[in-house]
Amino acid sequence: MAMFKNRDPSWNAPEVSQSFLGDVLQLSCAALFLLAIVVPPAQGVWPLPQNLTSSAERYSLSPREFNFLYDKGSAVQPGCTILDTAFKRYFRIAFSGYSGGKPLTGNEKSGCVSPGGSSCGSAPLRALVVNVQKGGCDGFPDLNSKEDYKLSIADGLGSLSAVSVWGALRGLETFSQLVYQDQEVTYYINKTDVVDFPRFAHRGLLLDTSRHYLPVRSILETLDAMAYNKFNVFHWHIVDDPSFPYQSPTFPNLSSKGAFHPQTHIYTMTDIKRVIEHARLWGIRVIPEFDTPGHTESWGKGQPGLLTTCYKGSVPSGTFGPVNPMLNTSYQFMSKLFDEISSVFPDSYLHLGGDEVSFTCWKSNPDIQQFMKKMGFGTNYRKLESFYIENLVKIVTALNKNSIVWQEVFDNAVKVPADTVVHVWKGSKKQYSQEMSSVTAGGFKVLLSAPWYLNAIRYGQDWKNAYKVEPLGFNGTAEQKKLVMGGEACMWGEYVDATNLTPRLWPRAGAVGERLWSDEAQTSNVDTAYNRLAEFRCRLLRRGIRAQPLFVGYCDHEYEGI
């Protein structure tokens, strides 16, 4: 039956070599919480801060007294939408489990619950005082946003300082993870110093709302969990072959004909605004992907004439291929659509796709053949693809947006502006490393996703594979490595919808979150990461995120839904 000891072929970590209950218990979060009384609990922060020191000295926090405050010298003050809402949110998160009960008793106030002794008599922490150097609470995060922060908990004083509100958000998250509960009664935080900043500026997660429609609630919940993992980019693969849920005011037929259902399976402007605003409040950018010229079957339903007519012999076969690249009407349509998209989505980047273009339909079409001749492309359909992409990039550049494209666009030597970002998604470690090398040698900025296709599930602790990836592990100069902006975890939607999205994403995506945020040298050990991640997963549960287990064990508060 269970083959407990040898059932997990993917795993050879020391935990499994012994199957003692005691060892297993150590893996569990509750045991870690108990340990935390003796050992500083700060090791539980996920992703690991760049610099963190803490001691056993600790301060109690009372939900009836505790406050988030703006420092007098802070450039932002009450009324700052980002921080006002963040304070409210993080109060609830830091004191999860608090139900507004009775005032603390004298005993608990003294903080002398543990026999450890060292913590006794220290003052309570009454406030976290936040200082932001630069104003700006109504804007959107972007690639250059400063996410650095400093957090100090000492002498009963908590202070958080950051250049921008975006850094303050990251610091609040860290703060909330430092708070723990002793015996389910009193909240504590240890004396701690954190100086933190992200290793990579672009830390993204891709959701695919075309292969399955994801209700807005699923997306918002994912954004919450992203913030807990310090992700800062939501790559919204919003449309694709199977369905077109984006409701375009300019071209309403796209969704009324191309969505799974024109009313229940679409994203209205209101929905999209809600997603963007929710993301903004968490310091997350929303980058939409409108993938062309392939992956566009659903577009053709609401926009007749957009797609290439495929031929069988000398007659149209009734099926359609990629966007028709030889018609002016195609580009007129794209201009209008992308004009709309650029105003709907405030981020300065758009993802233009450009992957997996199948040439069979183009080849079958006599008009396309003629066009190829006219353009002198010979039989090289890559040139036709390039022709299309170049035109599209021109359109987008004229709209003052930067472009992100899948790696084929680079592989096919499309002429694109120098600041175009190439998104690497293909192949084995060797293959993607080679690709990273070539792309950066070409002077392009690059994003890595190839090792982080989280939809590709397998038995066991596959988070470890994601964790062990080294994004800068390719051959290249220091200059080349600077071109790596970060990466994205991808959750393609073939087998994923609202029923299984959340447990499939979390905590597996957390492995990518830490790889993109934390210092490489400090996070090279998967076994120590295991303990922190297992604890963090229990925190996610406590916050209402249906994160699945890493391995055997338990959380104090299990998920209570189905």
Partner 1 sequence: MAVMNLAVLLLAASVCFCSRHKSEKVPKLVNSQYGSLWPLPQSAQISVTAFQLSRSGFQIVHAPKSSAGPRCYLLGEAFRRYFEYIFGYSKRQNKDRKQSGAGAEVSELQVLITSSAPQCDGYPSVSSDESYQLTVDQPTAVLTAPEVWGALRGLETFSQLVYKDEYGTLHINRSEIKDFPRFNHRGILMDSSRHFLPLKVILANLDAMAMNKYNVFHWHIVDDQSFPYQSPLFPELSKKGSYHPYTHVYTPTDVKMVIEFARMRGIRVISEFDTPGHTQSWGLGQKGLLTPCYSGEKPSGTFGPVNPILNSTYDFMTQFFKEVSSVFPEAYIHLGGDEVDFSCWKSNPDIQKFMEQQGFGSDYSKLESYYIQRILDIVTGTRKGYMVWQEVFDNGVKLKPDTVVEVWMGNTLEEELQKVTSAGYTTILSAPWYLDYISYGQDWQKYYKVEPLTFNGTDTQKKLVIGGEACLWGEFVDATNLTPRLWPRASAVAERLWSDKDVRDIDDAYSRLSQHRCRMVQRGIPAEPLFVGHCDYEYGGL
Instruction: Choose the catalytic residue: 57, 65, 356, 535.
Output: 356
* Residue numbers 525-544 binding partner 1 by CB under 8 A: 541
271: burial class by Cβ within 10 Å (0-12, 13-18, 19+)? middle
Distance (Å, rounded) from C-alpha 389 to C-alpha 149?
A: 40
Q: Which residues contact 76 (CB under 8 A, 6 or more apart)?
A: 70, 82, 83, 132, 135, 136, 137, 165
Nearer to partner 1 by Cβ, of 136 and 553: the residue is 553
Residue 98 found at the interface with partner 1 (CB under 8 A): no
Which runs of consecutive H residues, i.e. helices, occur in 297-365? 297-302, 328-344, 360-364
Residue 24 found at the interface with partner 1 (CB under 8 A): yes
Q: How far is the CB of 400 from partner 1 (least distance, A)?
A: 29
Contact flags string 454-473 toward partner 1, x per CB under 8 A: -xxxxxxx------------
What dihedral do alpha carbons 84, 86, 90, 93 form, nearest 10°?
A: 120
Beta-bridge partner residues of 67: 127
Nearer to partner 1 by Cβ, of 149 and 244: the residue is 244
Q: Which helix (H) or strand (E) holds 196?
A: strand 186-196
Nearer to partner 1 by Cβ, of 215 and 442: the residue is 215
Residue 2 found at the interface with partner 1 (CB under 8 A): yes
Instruction: Give the amino acid at 113.
Output: V
Which runs of consecutive H residues, i.e. helices, occur in 132-180? 165-178
User: Which of 142, 340, 411, 556 is close enough to bind partner 1 by CB under 8 A?
Assistant: 556
Q: Which backbone phi and psi does 460 adopt, to 5 degrees? A: 100, -160
* Residue numbers 149-208 binding partner 1 by CB under 8 A: none
Residue 561 found at the interface with partner 1 (CB under 8 A): yes
Nearer to partner 1 by Cβ, of 297 and 514: the residue is 297
Which of 1-9, 56-64, 119-127, 337-345 is the region at the interface with partner 1 (rule: CB under 8 A)?
1-9
84: burial class by Cβ within 10 Å (0-12, 13-18, 19+)? middle
Beta-bridge partner residues of 157: 154
What SS3 class is residue 249? coil
User: Which of 427, 468, 481, 526 is close enough to bind partner 1 by CB under 8 A?
Assistant: 427
Nearer to partner 1 by Cβ, of 233 and 550: the residue is 550
Residue 8 found at the interface with partner 1 (CB under 8 A): yes
- DSSP secondary structure code for residue 378 in this structure: T
Nearer to partner 1 by Cβ, of 123 and 456: the residue is 456
Q: How far is the CB of 164 from partner 1 (least distance, A)?
A: 32
Residue 112 found at the interface with partner 1 (CB under 8 A): no
Contact flags string 57-76 toward partner 1, x per CB under 8 A: --------------------
390 is catalytic: no
What SS3 class is residue 422? strand
- DSSP secondary structure code for residue 70 in this structure: E
Exposure on the CB side of residue 560, measured as CA atoms within 13 A: 5
* Residue numbers 349-378 binding partner 1 by CB under 8 A: 355-356
Distance (Å, rounded) from C-alpha 107 to C-alpha 110?
A: 5
Nearer to partner 1 by Cβ, of 331 and 492: the residue is 492
Residue 562 found at the interface with partner 1 (CB under 8 A): yes
What distance separates the 2 farthest-apart alpha carbons in the chain? 90
Is residue 334 within 8 A of residue 392, CB to CB? The reply is yes
User: Which of 87, 166, 213, 474 is close enough to bind partner 1 by CB under 8 A?
Assistant: 213
Nearer to partner 1 by Cβ, of 211 and 280: the residue is 211
User: Which of 304, 495, 520, 528 is close enough to bind partner 1 by CB under 8 A?
Assistant: 495
Which of 3-11, 57-65, 318-326, 394-402 is the region at the interface with partner 1 (rule: CB under 8 A)?
3-11
* Number of residues near partner 1 (by CB under 8 A): 71
Distance (Å, rounded) from C-alpha 285 to C-alpha 202?
A: 9
Residue 478 found at the interface with partner 1 (CB under 8 A): no
Residue 430 found at the interface with partner 1 (CB under 8 A): no
User: Which of 502, 518, 523, 531 is close enough to bind partner 1 by CB under 8 A?
Assistant: 502
Residue 402 found at the interface with partner 1 (CB under 8 A): no
Q: Which among 558, 487, 482, 557 is positioned nearest to 516, based on CA atoms? A: 487
Q: How far is the CB of 143 from partner 1 (least distance, A)?
A: 24
Beta-bridge partner residues of 244: none
* Residue numbers 243-272 binding partner 1 by CB under 8 A: 243, 260-261, 264-265
Q: How far is the CB of 134 from partner 1 (least distance, A)?
A: 36
Distance (Å, rounded) from C-alpha 533 to C-alpha 516?
A: 15
End-to-end Cα, the chain, rounded Å: 26
What dihedral do alpha carbons 46, 47, 48, 49 form, nearest 10°?
A: -110
Q: Which among 114, 93, 13, 171 is positioned nearest to 536, based on CA atoms? A: 93
Which of 129-137, 160-168, 392-400, 548-556 is the region at the interface with partner 1 (rule: CB under 8 A)?
548-556
Q: How far is the CB of 231 from partner 1 (least distance, A)?
A: 19
Nearer to partner 1 by Cβ, of 61 and 547: the residue is 547
Distance (Å, rounded) from C-alpha 132 to C-alpha 391?
A: 43
Contact flags string 25-64 toward partner 1, x per CB under 8 A: ---x-x----------------------------------
Active site residues per annotation: 356
